[in-house]
Amino acid sequence: MKPPTVQPASPVASVDGSAALRFERVALVGKYHASGSREALEQVVHFLHDQGCEVTLERETAHHIGPLGDGTRDVAGIGAHCDLALVVGGDGTMLGIGRQLGPYGVPLIGINQGRLGFITDIPFDRFADILHPMLRGAYEEERRTLMHAGVWRDGHGVFETIAMNDVVVNRGGAPSMVELRVEVDGHFVANQRADGLIIASPTGSTAYALSAGGPLLHPAIAGWVMVPIAPHTLSNRPIVLPSDGEIVIEVVAGREPSAHFDMQTFTSLLPGDRIVVRRSVHTLRLLHPVGWSYFDTLRRKLHWNEGVAT
């Protein structure tokens, strides 16, 4: 598979010579648990209306903060009706909606109201200046790989979902390790005794996998990162695997183990359960301002070269 690439788009000129709107029907998704979220979303709605956009509020967001814009729709409705989704919040908000909208092909733009903002990269205090040209086609598009994961029990699928960041199998609350058998493309890799195991996408390599000692993986690389969590055998190290294969994690032993998907959905596991991870047929479309750089994001968020003039 050809690695995903960043593609610039050119503004489309209107008949009067100004740049015409490329995105007229915009969905708005908010971090509704945060204080001040309604006021922030109201500012975005007013801005979008001033640009001539029809604004649809995502249904769960509307349920928590009340009606805004021109109506509400669920994810399927947004996928069928909207040209663009604006996510106002942090990376967690983007994860929650991104893996749901990915199959519909709706592009997303992230306005950062959180702490890190690896994939919500537009500062809230500058959103109007940055969004104005983007709504008219001046943006760069990036496609991020998604993960398809399922849990199999006694030969039957009992759970499946899409993840953007990672699939994590870990021990329960008891102070004991979980034992896992790992296969890649049908080939036995190892039995691991650890607190757990992370399979992360390039997007997720800056999340839990990084905290567990895994490497950063550029989004253009078609690979997964497999990272053990506090392994019993210290020679069990992170490894980068091709994303076009199949990873199977079988639960050999453990007290109340569980599987987490983007740390937002989870399922309880039993000994003998097999967690199967493959590359999804869908990708996530992220739009960035012209001139955006993944390395600029890393440098800002990880505080590289602090004190060095740039």
Active-site residues, by number, are: 91
Q: What is the DSSP pairing of strand 223-229 with strand 274-289?
A: unpaired
Neighbours of 245 (CB within 10 A): 16
Cβ burial, residue 200 (10 Å; 0-12/13-18/19+): buried
Chain centroid to Cα 214, Å, comes to 18
Classify each residue of 25-59 as buried b or exposed e, where b means 16 or more C-beta atoms within 10 Å of its C-beta.
ebbbbbbbeeeebbebbeebbebbeebebbbbbbe
Please report how many Cα atoms fall inside a 13 Å half-sphere around the Cα of residue 231, on the Cβ side. Answer: 18
Amino acid occupying residue 94: M
Closest by CA position to 121, among listed 129, 133, 112: 112
Please tell me the distance from the alpha carbon of residue 108 to that of residue 52, in angstroms, as a whole number: 19
Closest by CA position to 264, among listed 208, 309, 220: 208
Please tell me the distance from the alpha carbon of residue 130 to that of residue 289, in angstroms, as a whole number: 7
Q: What is the DSSP pairing of strand 54-58 with strand 187-194?
A: unpaired
Strands (DSSP E) along 208-289, which ranges? 223-229, 239-242, 247-253, 258-261, 265-268, 274-289
